[in-house]
Amino acid sequence: MVLYIFYKNKRNKTSGFFFRYNNGIINVMETIIRKVDKNQIEKEVIEQAGRIIREGGLVAFPTETVYGLGANALDEEAAKKTYEAKGRPSDNPLIIHIADFGDLNRIVQNISKKAMDLAEAFWPGPLTMIFEKSDLVPYGTTGGLDTVAVRMPDDSIARELILEGGGYISAPSANTSGRPSPTTAKHVEEDMSGRIDMILDGGSVDIGVESTIVDMTTEPPMILRPGAVTKKMVEEVIGEVQIDKTLLGEETDEAPKAPGMKYRHYAPKAQLKIVQGTLKDEVNAIKQLAYEKTKKGKKVGVIASTETVSRYTTGLIKTIGTRENQSSIAKNLYKVLREFDDENVDCIYSESFSVDGIGSAIMNRLEKAAGHQIIDAHEIASKQKFRRVVFVSKSDNSRGPMAAELLRNQDLIQEYEIESRGMIVLFPEPANQKAEAIMKSHQMTLEGHETVAFSEDDLDEDTLVLTLEENQKWKIVTDYEYVKHVYTLSEYVEIDKEIPSAYGQPLVEYGKSFEILKEMIKKLAEKLNEEAKK
């Protein structure tokens, strides 16, 4: 039986009263939440947190990678509580965090010269090393292994807590097992409220993906999990290192060397798929996938970058960071995945990112979150002959916008940008009122339309240009260089009729133009759909 009551009081923000019914005894757990300023750490708060750890309790705290769920690493019972709070399989070992290099030799055996050099180069920092464990370390902490993972974090709150908590704090990421790792105290609260004793809120973390893990018990040492310390950085210090084959996405029956890497970690609730190819193909493929799913009534999430975000129109679109600075992507990755959870999307499509530097960690986490479902962007994008349809009339105020609006109202299996242009447009004007009256009588509207002059920008390999009259086609063909996809509408849809301009004539004439356009646009939609099926 589990029952939550939430309340807040003024001094200590407290959330989630958690009553657990165990063997007839009701356990009441109240999670204390305290803000901590990295630059001015309140001694009293750290003392309280340290005391909880020493007494066998659980305290979540910020590190430079992600928030950790801290417990006394030398206390088997505390390890049990950690697994229980996270819902983590107990064969998935914990990393022991230390704050003083001198504390290392009490928990490990055989510290190699290479390990010393790596510690010298990257500690404190986002690097975890695996050693043979000493007898001091309980099997409860190492998931039954004779080896132990150790890291010295750089975050000042983490360091003070470790020292105050007895020097050895096991700290897996402070999320429910299977959810994206927490990068803010709010994320921890979402998952752990009522399940742990305390949360230290030190704001957003710096890096956003978990530490690099290097197994120092093999020769050469082996990277088991990519992180902010890259293979290249490690090799610059100690020479050749191997990389766990299972990380490279190659087909293999072997289990990953780090037990935790086999679980479908870091996962959002919705099915995530990574779309991979050239950036242009990725964008076009995601647009198409989002369009198809949305048509089927699904709520679609799109993971875009600063460079591409403006290209998307369909779905719930989130920017994960800029391709110019991969660290920004690492920092936002889990936050974005959690946001999609909050918004209850049905599926998520993500662009893929460079595997340079921290990029290998980003793509590793993203691929795991996607359960390795990767879509070939080229396969989808190359099916699209056109991505844009532009109707060209004389002044872009009646037949052109009518044609565009008619096409937008067709059932198209591909998403197109549909626009209209005029050969003679001196300044922007709204649509002709009679044209609008006709459209209204057919439950459509030209409201908001503004006339735009045709220009060279309307000619490219992705754009189908359809003129309403023969003379507009010839003017374009003679005046411009790139004229590969320029047709008259009548010629393209093979309906040998003129579409008369009704300008200056009574409403009925507009009605006649509309009827001809309607017939042609219906045929156009059929033709475009045929093309898209190929």
Residue ranges in contact with Mg ion by CB under 5 A? 173
Cβ proximity to ligand AMP: between 185 and 389 the closer is 185
Alpha-helical segments (H) within 1-135:
43-54, 76-86, 104-107, 113-122
| Interface with ligand AMP, residue 420, by CB under 6 A | no
152: how many CB neighbours lie within 10 A of its CB? 23
The tokens of 226 are what?
């990519």
Cβ proximity to ligand AMP: between 95 and 524 the closer is 95
| Interface with ligand AMP, residue 258, by CB under 6 A | yes
CA distance 519 to 523: 7
Cβ proximity to Mg ion: between 368 and 399 the closer is 368
CA distance 123 to 234: 12
Closest contact distance (angstroms) between CB of 56 and Mg ion is 22
| Interface with ligand AMP, residue 172, by CB under 6 A | yes
Closest contact distance (angstroms) between CB of 2 and Mg ion is 23
For tokens 């109707």, the residue is 391
Cβ proximity to ligand AMP: between 92 and 467 the closer is 92
Residue 16 backbone zone (phi > 0: left; psi -120 to 50: alpha; other: beta): left
| Interface with ligand AMP, residue 329, by CB under 6 A | no
Q: Given candidates 33, 148, 200, 380, which one binds ligand AMP under the rule CB under 6 A? A: 148
19 and 3 Cβ atoms separated by less than 8 Å: yes
Which amino acid makes up residue 324? E
CA distance 57 to 68: 14
Closest contact distance (angstroms) between CB of 212 and ligand AMP is 11
Number of residues that bind ligand AMP (CB under 6 A): 20
Secondary-structure percent of the chain, ordered helix, strand, coil, rounded to 5: 35, 20, 45
| Rounded (5°) CA angle 133-138-139 | 85
347: nearest Cα among 319, 371, 376: 371
CA distance 370 to 407: 36
Cβ proximity to Mg ion: between 68 and 301 the closer is 68
In degrees rounded to 5, what are phi and psi of residue 347?
Answer: -150, 155
Q: Quick one: what does residue 142 bind among ligand AMP, Mg ion, none, with the CB cut-off 5 to 8 Å set by partner type?
A: ligand AMP
Q: Given candidates 98, 200, 213, 270, which one binds ligand AMP under the rule CB under 6 A? A: 213
Q: Given candidates 142, 156, 488, 490, which one binds ligand AMP under the rule CB under 6 A? A: 142
CA distance 207 to 204: 9
Q: Quick one: what does residue 149 bind among Mg ion, ligand AMP, none, with the CB cut-off 5 to 8 Å set by partner type?
A: ligand AMP
Cβ proximity to ligand AMP: between 166 and 259 the closer is 259
CA distance 431 to 450: 7
Span interacting with ligand AMP, options 234-242, 254-262, 314-322, 464-472, rule CB under 6 A:
254-262
Q: Given candidates 160, 191, 210, 367, which one binds ligand AMP under the rule CB under 6 A? A: 210
The tokens of 471 are what?
């003379």
Cβ proximity to ligand AMP: between 362 and 459 the closer is 362
For tokens 């579409």, the residue is 499
Closest contact distance (angstroms) between CB of 198 and ligand AMP is 19
| Interface with ligand AMP, residue 92, by CB under 6 A | yes
195 and 71 Cβ atoms separated by less than 8 Å: no
Residue number with the smallest Cβ distance to Mg ion: 173
Span interacting with ligand AMP, options 52-60, 147-155, 400-408, 440-448, rule CB under 6 A:
147-155
- Encoded one letter per residue, x for contact with ligand AMP by CB under 6 A and - for no contact, window 261-300 reads x---------------------------------------
DSSP reduced 3-state for 354: coil
Cβ proximity to Mg ion: between 50 and 227 the closer is 227
Q: Quick one: what does residue 345 bind among Mg ion, ligand AMP, none, with the CB cut-off 5 to 8 Å set by partner type?
A: none
270 and 346 Cβ atoms separated by less than 8 Å: yes
| Interface with ligand AMP, residue 529, by CB under 6 A | no
143 and 149 Cβ atoms separated by less than 8 Å: no
Which amino acid makes up residue 206? D
Q: Which residues bind to ligand AMP, rule: CB under 6 A?
A: 92-95, 130, 142, 145, 147-149, 172-173, 210, 213, 224-225, 258-261
